[in-house]
Amino acid sequence: LFKRTATRLFYRLFQRLADVDAPLDTGDFRLVSRAVLDEYRRIQEQQPYVRGLIAWLGFNQTGIEYVRPGRAAGQTKYPFRKLLQLAVDGITAFSDRPLRYAARLGLVASALSMLGLVWVVIAKLVYGIPVSGWASLMVTLFLFGGLQLFFLGVLGSYLARVFAEVRRRPRYIIRESWHSDADAGVPVPASSRPTAR
């Protein structure tokens, strides 16, 4: 029950974070056309997240509902640890939003810390309110912690761009193309000749 609930939560989180529209609550068993298979095989990734890649290719999909019976014998060979690794692979392969969220969180923390620092100075110099040492220390720690988180997010954004270049996924997929037969002047489907990408 725990694993099933965690899986459902992950797929909803993935759909909110990822840049692809992967169908919810579906299995990884699927029938694909030759065109889908050919395009999938062009992607040479070391840790492919199949569900995300199939959705990323952009071909039309349809689901078939069925009632899955319980396991007849044996135990699952996919423990929670592997599911967690699969979740990390899926999110890191199709989303850089966690990095952007980290940068925003760091920026907000730094801004709040600056406001806290201003309040400490005003309370001491203007109103003569004694401020304990731990308050200014905590404000300073939050300020530098927020700045570190912000710059880590910025650095991560650059790394995400490098990661996108290294994966070398195709920028687009040509479903069908036509060329003109030089001799007859008649448009001929590209399937009659080798397709250049």
- Rounded CA separation 88/161 (Å): 18
* pLDDT for the residue 192: 45
Structure tokens at 86: 């699969």
Query: Which residue's entry shows tokens 């609930």?
Result: 5
The candidate with the shortest Cα–Cα distance to 168, out of 78, 49, 44, 62, is 44
For residues 99 and 157, is the Cβ–Cβ distance under 8 A? Answer: yes
- Rounded CA separation 171/154 (Å): 24
Distances (CA, A) of 83 to 53, 55, 171: 17, 19, 29
Buried b (16+ CB within 10 A) or exposed e, 50-65: ebbbbbbbeeeeeeee
Would you say the pTM of this structure is higher than 0.75?
no
- pLDDT tens per residue, the chain (197 residues)? 777 788 888 888 888 888 888 887 777 788 889 988 988 888 888 888 888 888 888 888 888 888 877 777 777 777 778 888 888 888 888 888 888 898 899 989 888 888 888 888 888 788 777 777 777 788 888 888 888 988 988 898 898 888 888 887 888 787 777 876 655 555 555 544 444 44
What count of residues does the chain have?
A: 197
- Looking at residue 62, its amino acid is T
Neighbours of 123 (CB within 10 A): 14
3-state helix, strand, coil in the chain (%, to 5): 60, 5, 40
* pLDDT for the residue 186: 54
For residues 143 and 110, is the Cβ–Cβ distance under 8 A? Answer: yes
The candidate with the shortest Cα–Cα distance to 89, out of 124, 127, 45, 55, is 45
Where are the chain's structural domains? 2-94, 97-167
